[in-house]
Amino acid sequence: MFSVLIVCTAFITIATFLPYWRHPHWLIRGLDYPRLQIACLAMVLLLTQLLFGDLQTVSAWALIALTSFCIAWQLWWVLPYTRLWPKETISTIHRAPERQISILTANVLTPNRQAEKLLDLVEQNQPDILVTLESDEWWEDRLNKLEPTMPYSIKCPLDNLYGMHVFSRLPLSETEIEFLVEDSVPSMHALVTLRSGDEVRVHFIHPAPPSPTENTESSERDAELIVVGRSVADSEQAVIVTGDLNDVAWSVTTRLFRKLSGLLDPRIGRGMFNTFHVSFPFLRWPLDHLFHSDHFTVTDIRRLPSIGSDHFPLFTCLTLNEQKRHQQSGIDTDQEDEAWASEKAAAENVNKHDVPQPGE
């Protein structure tokens, strides 16, 4: 029995600390995802150690201590995305509809043919902006039904799982479609004019994930997040970055993006809002994101019902409130972060100047 406990403890320990090694291989970066699941397994292991281990020996207590540390380490990453943590972004108190912006982000899954479910959600929630990922020409034909009420759009239909569409009730200007890192992976950039006349810089992104079937390393994804993050960090404008980042909210790379950009995460202190995978409740992670500058407070954030995709849609409503800027802040970068970011961007030969800067 003791040998089994040793093997299980070794497995939990490796799974816990291997992501600390910043190697970009998909197998290592993939261990960023199931931190909560690994913590749960470690709790079961800890209970087993207490019930069946020989508590008279130092070696048994060493296993217990190591497992306890693994639990604490994993929870350190995920607890900010629970109601146990202080909110990073202030909740809106006084609603000002003319200064609000609501965004519905939906990875539709290209082969999915349940477009009416998404259209129904748009009708029910009335977002100012709809962003779709993995949308091809078939999806574009169905989404064009939105044009009478959402007349502003950016369209990039692709059949490679990286098509993207934006439909907006609010005016869009300085719109650009860029392929920042990979020739087949677009991003969209624009200036949105609110009903109040205020302007917001928006970036819609969907970098490719590290996986055995696509990019074996996370380098391309990480480089895109880094250059977008550095680009918006220089802006005094109100900024929103949203999309399917193919990365969990608590990973070292998304955390690096938050440090570089200075943007806030409205989920911190409110919940995980896991959007993937629809079919596996125990294996769900927050892959669809919205980050914003400190110009905003949070009016609403919700995970919406399934539309037949492997992702749930995410609905977020923010209110422009510059008076609250000094009351909220994100996390700071340091020299080590900057050096790591520069190394990753240089490896993909990209920099922040490749990112469009609408409104600048």
pTM as predicted: 0.95
> What is the predicted pLDDT for the residue at 289?
98
Q: Is the dihedral of CA 96, 192, 292, 250 positive or negative?
A: positive
Residue 354 pLDDT > 80, yes or no? yes
> What is the predicted pLDDT for the residue at 248?
96
Question: Is residue 269 left, alpha or beta, with left meaning phi > 0 and alpha meaning psi from -120 to 50?
Answer: left
> What is the predicted pLDDT for the residue at 130?
98
What pLDDT band is residue 2 in, cutting at 50, 70 and 90? confident
Mean pLDDT across 343-347: 95
Cα distance between residue 137 and residue 229, in whole Å: 30
Question: Any idea how long the chain is?
Answer: 360
Q: What are the phi and psi torsion angles at 104 (to 5°)? A: -110, 115
Percent of the chain with pLDDT over 90: 90
Compute CA distances 333 → 73, 135, 306, whole Å.
21, 35, 36
Q: What is the pLDDT of residues 121-150, one digit of tens each?
A: 999 999 999 999 999 999 999 999 999 999
What pLDDT band is residue 325 in, cutting at 50, 70 and 90? confident
Cα distance between residue 286 and residue 201, in whole Å: 23
Residue 22 pLDDT > 90, yes or no? no
Query: Per-residue b/e over 43-77, b at no fewer than 16 CB within 10 Å?
Result: bebbeebeeebeeeeeebeebbebbeebbebbbeb
Q: Which residues contact 11 (CB under 8 A, 6 or more apart)?
A: none
272 three-state secondary structure = coil
Choice among 163-167, 187-191, 230-234 with the minimum mean pLDDT: 230-234
Mean pLDDT across 228-251: 95
3-class secondary structure per residue, 33-66: CCHHHHHHHHHHHHHHHHHHCCCCCHHHHHHHHH
Q: Where are the beta strands (DSSP E) in 76-156?
A: 100-107, 129-133, 152-156
Q: What is the pLDDT of residues 64-96, one digit of tens each?
A: 999 999 999 999 999 999 999 999 999 999 889
> What is the predicted pLDDT for the residue at 94?
87
Listed residue (52, 53, 30, 49) closest to 41, CA to CA: 49
Compute CA distances 150 → 20, 166, 173, 198, 315, whole Å.
44, 9, 14, 19, 16
Q: Is the dihedral of CA 19, 23, 24, 25 positive or negative?
A: negative
